[in-house]
Amino acid sequence: MSFSNNVRREICSAVSDNDKRFACLYGMLLFCRTLSPEHICFQTESSISAEFFGSLFRNIFRYSPECRENSRKDGVVLYCYDICDRNIIDEVYRKYRFINVRTINSEIIVTNSIGGFAAGIFLACGSVNDPEKEYHLEFSVPGEVLAEELTVLLGDIGVTAKITIRRGQHIVYIKDSESIEDTLTFMGAQNCTLEIMKVKIFKDVRNKANRIANCDSANIDRVLKTSMRQIKDIKLIADTDGLDSLSAELREVAEMRLENTDMSLQEIGESLSVPISRSGVNHRFRKIAAIAENIRKGKNLE
């Protein structure tokens, strides 16, 4: 099941009393495809939303609208409720105080059921991406007025939503993960909110591990390249003048390097008969490099 459907299923289960059911159906009707005194059409790609719409409508209006299924060319199934009975539509308009212009009438929503109203909006026209892939929640809203009012509603809970137009449709969208979490919690999908938090923690740990691994890999490459250069210098000296030509302290670090190609300068310094700092080891290797360079140039430091 998709993450969007997980959200739909959870918010449906959170609509648990009459006030919330009333508010949820209000959101579904107000943001449905068609709302007019002659025709109400609720259409969705989600069987969960479709089933819940029919259940709420029966519960509140004691009327069972018929759901039909249409298949688009791309194979997606659309679930449609077409209500054309004028008596039923008149009752819907009276109960929800609908007017010709679609606008949110907060006076008919009980305060503790505003989250249920938002849940209805999501069931009618909302979707949310799988947090493993992208943080994105959006509502495909029927009209500019409702789009602006929805951003105000979300703003009341501290969520900043933006509006864009896609294929002539007003889209209210949220990309900030914390704002998505707040919106889902507001609608009653607390478990899905926790799922996003878990994904975020996992991503953060994975990114940190990758950074550490990349850093370690870079450090190892750097140590090995330095070690190979040092060994090349040491072997040149051994093949020409011999390591006995070096001072005791230079010979000790040279022999330590030949025996331990993967040791860092810090580790070499700590392993010497008289431990010295990393910079001290580096200073001795610079002297060895200078001797090797002079040998290459045909000079003799003795």
Choice among 28-37, 159-168, 228-237 with the minimum mean pLDDT:
228-237
Residue 222 has pLDDT above 70, yes or no: yes
- Amino acid 57: pLDDT: 96
Would you say the pTM of this structure is higher than 0.75? Answer: no
Contact 56, 18 (CB under 8 A): no
* Mean local confidence (pLDDT), 198-225: 78
Cβ burial, residue 111 (10 Å; 0-12/13-18/19+): exposed
Task: Spell out the alpha helix ranges (H) of 15-112.
Answer: 18-30, 47-61, 86-96
Which carries the bigger pLDDT value, residue 28 or residue 266?
Answer: 28
Lowest mean pLDDT among 25-39, 115-129, 245-259: 245-259
DSSP structural state of residue 70: E
Task: Please check the confidence at residue 175 and state whether its pLDDT lies above 50.
Answer: yes
Alpha carbons 219 and 225: distance in angstroms, whole number: 10
Residue 277: band (very low, low, confident or very high) from pLDDT cuts 50, 70, 90: very high
User: Under a CB-based contact definition with an 8 Å cutoff, are residues 121 and 27 in contact?
Assistant: yes
> Token pair 């951003």 is at which residue?
151
For the chain, the average pLDDT equals: 91
Q: Is the pLDDT of residue 302 over 80?
A: no
Confidence at residue 299, expressed as pLDDT on a 0 to 100 scale: 57
Q: Residues 236-241: what's their mean pLDDT?
A: 88
pLDDT of residue 239: 87
> Domains of the chain, with CATH numbers?
3-188 (3.10.28.10), 205-296 (no CATH)
CA 298 from centre of chain: 63
**Under a CB-based contact definition with an 8 Å cutoff, are residues 246 and 289 in contact?**
no
Mean pLDDT of all residues in 36-63: 95
